[in-house]
Amino acid sequence: MSLTGTYDPQNIFAKIIRGEIPAVKVYEDDTVLSFMDVFPQSEGHTLVIPKSEARNLLDIAPDALQNLIVKTQLVAQAVNKALTPDGIRIAQFNGEPAGQTVFHIHFHIIPAYDSQSEAPHASGQMADTDKLKALAERIKAEL
């Protein structure tokens, strides 16, 4: 799949935006949505996506990208306050060979803990929904 391909409105994040499939939400406004990653690499792994259509960093409108990174900072600050990790990695992949698996642009907020090892990217271990909801409540309380 090319980096400059057409946006597929049937991708999983587009379905989450339209409410066609559920997500454990952390933050939402008119322009962005943030929710828990269902295959978390660490406790509190959160995603931030724009509501506008874009596949990756190369095709998103500059103003939407600016807004997206500012909202990513907002959610990351709440993750930090709620979960007090030892570090936080912000990740973003463009194109399948670079590790992208969902072709609607998103930033990953991945807390890092000295005491916990991290699962590999897209490892396939689905998290328990109740645990994700409990984490989301703690993060939301700091927003």
Convert residues 6-25 into a mask of x (bound to ligand 5GP by CB under 6 A) and - (unbound).
------x----------x--
Residue 79 CB contacts under 8 Å (≥ 6 apart), including other chains: 44, 46, 85, 88, 109, 111, 139, 142
Structure tokens at 10: 């049937």
The answer to whether residue 106 is catalytic is yes
Task: Output the smallest distance, CB 80 to ligand 5GP, in A.
Answer: 19
| Interaction residues for ligand 5GP, span 22-81 (CB under 6 A) | 23, 35-39
Asked if 88 touches ligand 5GP (CB under 6 A), the answer is: no
Give the three-state DSSP class for 55.
coil
**CA angle, residues 100, 83, 129, in degrees to nearest 5:** 60
List residues binding ligand 5GP (CB under 6 A). 12, 23, 35-39, 93, 99-102, 122
Active site positions, annotated: 106
